[in-house]
Structure 1
Amino acid sequence: MDTSKEHVVGSPATLAVRFRQAMATLCTPVTVVTGMDGDRPHGTTVSAFGSLPMDPTMVTVALDRGSALLAMVRRTRRFGVNVLGSDQSDLALRFARKGTDKFVGVEWHAAEGLPRLTGTQTWLSCDAAELVDGGDHVIALGLVTEIDTVPTSPLTYCARSFGTHLDHEHD
């Protein structure tokens, strides 16, 4: 048994810092999750996104408990997922900030009654099947109702910077 590494238990504050550092080393896709409030679009950048089972086709997104978008999803029970392409880091930054003017100057159209950003790698229209408590976030389990994908590389986030996926070269 290797005893060269001790298991160190720290305070909750220390654990939180170490957890953030560890999670920053993981590569995640960058998405903009969207919803409509009447005729007004809303959106926010989300990197906590993943797929669930294929039957039924479902995804997860984690939304900040205090976000206006979460309040809208609670009301409408619908949301869109725009998986950004590798050339769309500007959109990731725009939708990561606070404010109601995020869509000003951004090309988008309504698809399935939800805001769909132009040029994204993948578009998913979802019905919120369930909203689950996740600490300071709420995890939305989305039943996918529409999918569109274009052949381009996705935008990813790793080590606190944007990038994209590259295939391994095989010998």
Structure 2
Amino acid sequence: MTAFTDVMAGVPTPVSVVTAMDGDRPHGTTVSAFASLSLTPPMLLVSLDRRSDLLTLVRASGRFGVNVLSREQAAVAKAFAVKGASKFDGIAWRPANDLPRLDGVSGWLACEVSDLVDGGDHVVALGTVLAAESSGLAPLTYHARSFGTHVTFEGVAT
């Protein structure tokens, strides 16, 4: 297991906060397992811990938001990575597509659940994208157990 976690720690991943509403109350959790799945139709996937309160809300509502954090939002990632009802305390957000959208994010996606797939101690939520917006801000990434961002190399042919 240690070898597996060491290999995965060496893979840079985007850091996102997945959100849903419980009536008028917002909920969210930090995820690093998030990826594009399909262009036609536009779909993505996120991995949610089976024990998370957020997964219960996603199952019930059939919707979720993905807030792709910007490089300035490491503190936001940490705030949403813990259990508790106070994650939104001091966090600027607004409703968008009837879902909690955090301010200052690199990207925003509103999704409808297409399927929920069991995967070990997590459930993979497949989402059809209903709305998407990019701010142009550099994304926050997680690599080698540290937050950072992507840096391009000048002069390197692609």
Range into which the TM-score falls when normalised by the shorter chain:
over 0.9
Task: Provide the alpha-carbon RMSD of the alignment.
Answer: 0.6
Q: Which residue of 1 aligns with 2:128?
A: 143
Offset of 1:29 from its aligned partner?
0.3
Cα distance in 1 for partners of 2:99, 2:51 equals 21
- DSSP-derived class of the 2:6 partner: helix
Q: For residues 50 and 151 of structure 1, what CA distance do their matches in structure 2 show?
A: 18
Identify the match of residue 105 of structure 2 among 115, 120, 123: 120
Which runs of no fewer than 5 residues in structure 1 stay unpaired? 1-15
Alpha-carbon separation, structure 2, partners of 1:150 and 1:23: 28
Question: Paired residue for 1:54?
Answer: 39
Deviation string 1:140-164 (CA, Å, 9 cap, x unpaired) is: 0000000010111100000000000
Aligned to 1:25: 10
Gaps of 5+ in 2: none
TM-score normalised to the size of structure 2? 0.97
Does 2:92 correspond to 1:92?
Answer: no
1:66 aligned onto 2:51: yes
Partner of 1:96: helix, strand, or coil? coil
Q: Match of 1:81?
A: 66
Q: Deviations over 1:82-137 (max 9, x none)?
A: 00000000000000011000001110000000000001000000001000000000
Q: Distance in 1 between matches of 2:97 and 2:25?
A: 15
- Alpha-carbon distance in 2 for matches of 1:141, 1:104: 29
Q: Who wins on radius of gyration, i.e. which is larger? A: 1
How many residues are treated as equivalent by the alignment? 156
